[in-house]
Amino acid sequence: ALLTLAWKRRFLLQLSAQVAVDIAVISTIYLAGGGLQSGMVILFLFPLAGAAILAPLVLALFSASLVTLFLLGDAVLQVFLAQGEARLMQAGLYGAAFFAIVLAVNSLAAKLIRQEELAAERGIDLKTQQAINQIVTADVADGVLVVGRDGGVFASNPAARSMLGLPDGVSDFALGEIPALAPVAFAFVQWLGQPAGASSQHSAFVTLKPYTDTPQSPNTLGFSARRELSAHLKLRFARVATPNGAAERSVIFMHDVTAIENQAQQLKLASMGRLTASIAHEVRNPLAAIGHATALLAEDLDSPVHARLLKIVGDNVTRVNRMVEDILQLSRKVQPNGEPLQLDAFLAELKAEFTETHGLAGDIVWIGNTGTAPVRFDALHLREVVVNLLNNAIRYASRLPASMRLWVVQEAGQMELHVQDDGPGITPEVRAHLFEPFYTTSSKGTGLGLYLARELCLNNEAKLDYEYRFDGAPAASQHPTGRFVITFAPPAA
Give tens-digit pLDDT for 438-458.
777 666 666 678 888 888 888
The pLDDT score that the predictor gives to residue 476 is: 43
Q: Tens digit of pLDDT for each residue in 37-73?
A: 778 888 888 899 888 888 888 888 999 999 899 888 8
Residue 230 has pLDDT above 60, yes or no: yes
Give residue-wise pLDDT tens across range 149-168: 888 888 888 888 888 877 76
Residue-level pLDDT at 326: 61
pLDDT of 332 > 60? The answer is no
pLDDT number for residue 471: 66
Residue 319 to residues 250, 271, 283, 312, 326: CA-CA distances in angstroms?
48, 22, 13, 11, 11
Q: How sure is the predictor about 418, in pLDDT bands with cuts at 50, 70 and 90?
A: very high
Distance CA 264, CA 260 (A): 6
244 has a pLDDT exceeding 70:
yes
- What confidence category does residue 107 fall into, taking pLDDT thresholds of 50, 70 and 90? very high
Q: What is the pLDDT of residue 473?
A: 44
The arithmetic mean of pLDDT across residues 282-304, rounded, is 80
User: In which band, very low, low, confident or very high, does the pLDDT at 2 lie, cut at 50, 70 and 90?
Assistant: low
User: Looking at the predicted structure, is the pLDDT value of residue 327 above 70?
Assistant: no
Indicate the pTM of the whole model.
0.50
The most confident of 92-101, 285-294, 297-306, 338-347, by mean pLDDT: 92-101
The segment with the largest mean pLDDT, out of 190-194, 330-334, 364-368, is 364-368
Band of residue 395 on the pLDDT scale cut at 50, 70, 90 = confident
pLDDT over 70 (residue 344) = yes
Q: Please say whether the beta carbons of 63 and 50 come within 8 A.
A: no
Q: Which residue has the higher pLDDT, 426 or 221?
A: 426
pLDDT (0 to 100) of residue 390: 92
Confidence of residue 472 (pLDDT cuts 50, 70, 90): low
Complete domains list, the chain, with CATH: 2-134 (no CATH), 142-212+222-256 (3.30.450.20), 271-332 (1.10.287), 337-493 (3.30.565.10)
* Stretch 343-347: mean pLDDT: 90
Percent of the chain with pLDDT over 70: 78
Please, which pLDDT band fits residue 119 given cuts at 50, 70 and 90?
very high
Given a cut of 70, whether residue 309 has pLDDT beyond it is: yes
Average pLDDT over residues 312-336: 68
Higher pLDDT, 491 or 11: 11
Report how far residue 77's alpha carbon sits from residue 325's, in angstroms, rounded to the nearest whole number.
Answer: 124
Listed ranges 142-146, 179-183, 321-325; the one with the highest mean pLDDT: 142-146
Of 133-142, 285-294, 399-408, the one with minimum mean pLDDT is 133-142
The reported pLDDT for the residue numbered 198 is 55
pLDDT score of 475 more than 50? no
**Is pLDDT above 80 for 383?**
yes
Cα 199 to Cα 238: distance, rounded to the nearest angstrom: 9
Residue 283 has pLDDT above 50, yes or no: yes
Query: Per-residue pLDDT averaged across 2-7, rounded?
Result: 64
Confidence of residue 423 (pLDDT cuts 50, 70, 90): confident
Q: What is the pLDDT of residue 263?
A: 74
More confident residue, 317 or 386: 386
Predicted pLDDT of residue 209: 66
Residue 270 pLDDT greater than 80, yes or no: no
pLDDT value of position 115: 92
Q: Is the pLDDT of residue 213 over 50?
A: no
Q: What is the mean pLDDT of residues 264-277?
A: 67
Average of per-residue pLDDT across 316-324: 73
pLDDT at 118: 92
Average pLDDT over residues 204-221: 54
Q: What is the mean pLDDT of residues 245-249?
A: 79
Confidence at residue 201, expressed as pLDDT on a 0 to 100 scale: 56
What average pLDDT is seen over the chain?
79
